[in-house]
A = this chain, B = another copy of it.
């Protein structure tokens, strides 16, 4: 039998994982926020900081992975606790990807800064990033509170993000057609927009993982997708 002390140590291990995920989440939020700020303000030194700091998320993921596997091997957890630990591994993987996506935005700051894009484009990107960040904050709150009844809102917001991304995609194509000098910077902005849209997808993945951790069930496979950007063509193409 486990002694009281041993059980306490086990609880501490689970708490460690939960706290580490929360810290990773806060970190990921900051990187997203800073990468978009760097892009909008053409702040190359902030971009460099984001690129460097992404390594902290990689490291945190490894720590969570190692610790999770150690806990499984040592404690042989059942049902709920096992889901908790597998959930930590999954969420850490999504947060690590969010960091990669922020880094990918940051890497494009220099090229985009060389051109002069219309302010409305940056506003569009900022609005998209705000939605994605709200989404990320909300799932991290749901993770902390385990209030799965809020998960449907997360999915709805993901649809808004996709719709906003599609409209930004169209706007960027329009600028590219207006002036060939816009092509290179707008292409990089397109990839930035896509990265931000993907951050919303990872937030939704995290929401699905939390649902699984709390209920033991998987959410239904079919997730409605409002990203229609793959269909976007512009009349100007046919001229």
The A57-112 residues at the B interface (CB cut-off 8 A) are 58-59, 62, 65-66, 69, 72-73, 76, 78-79, 82-83, 86, 89-90, 93, 104, 107-108, 110-111
Residue A167 lies at the interface, judged by CB distance under 8 Å to chain B = no
**For chain A, which range describes its interface: under 10, 10 to 19, 20 to 34, or 35 or more residues?**
35 or more
Docked-complex contact A180 and B177, CB < 8 angstroms: yes
**Residue interface bits A30-50, CB-to-B below 8 A is 1, else 0:** 000000000000000000000
User: If A188-B230, A221-B55 touch, does A181 touch B237 (CB 8 Å cutoff)?
Assistant: yes
Copies in the complex: 2
Docked-complex contact B69 and A236, CB < 8 angstroms: no
Residues from chain B with a CB closer than 8 A to the CB of A89 are: 86, 89
Q: Which residue of B lies closest to A108 (CB)?
A: B230
User: If A72-B72, A111-B233, A231-B111 touch, does A176 touch B181 (CB 8 Å cutoff)?
Assistant: no
User: If A83-B69, A233-B111 touch, does A184 touch B173 (CB 8 Å cutoff)?
Assistant: yes
Residue A10 lies at the interface, judged by CB distance under 8 Å to chain B = no
Residues from chain B with a CB closer than 8 A to the CB of A173 are: 183-184, 187
**Minimum Cβ distance to chain B for residue A44 (Å):** 13
Residues from chain B with a CB closer than 8 A to the CB of A210 are: none
A72 to B85, CA, bound (A): 12
Docked-complex contact B233 and A114, CB < 8 angstroms: yes
A190 to B93, CA, bound (A): 26
Docked-complex contact A69 and B93, CB < 8 angstroms: no
Residues from chain B with a CB closer than 8 A to the CB of A233 are: 111, 114, 184
Residue A119 lies at the interface, judged by CB distance under 8 Å to chain B = no
Docked-complex contact A180 and B236, CB < 8 angstroms: yes
**Minimum Cβ distance to chain B for residue A19 (Å):** 21
User: If A58-B221, A221-B55, A239-B181 touch, does A86 touch B111 (CB 8 Å cutoff)?
Assistant: no
Q: Which residue of B lies closest to A170 (CB)?
A: B184
Centre residue among A83, A181, A239 by max chain B CB count within 10 A: A181
Give the 9 A-B residue pairs with the shortest CB-CB distance, closest first.
A76-B76, A107-B230, A184-B237, A177-B180, A108-B230, A184-B233, A176-B183, A181-B237, A58-B221
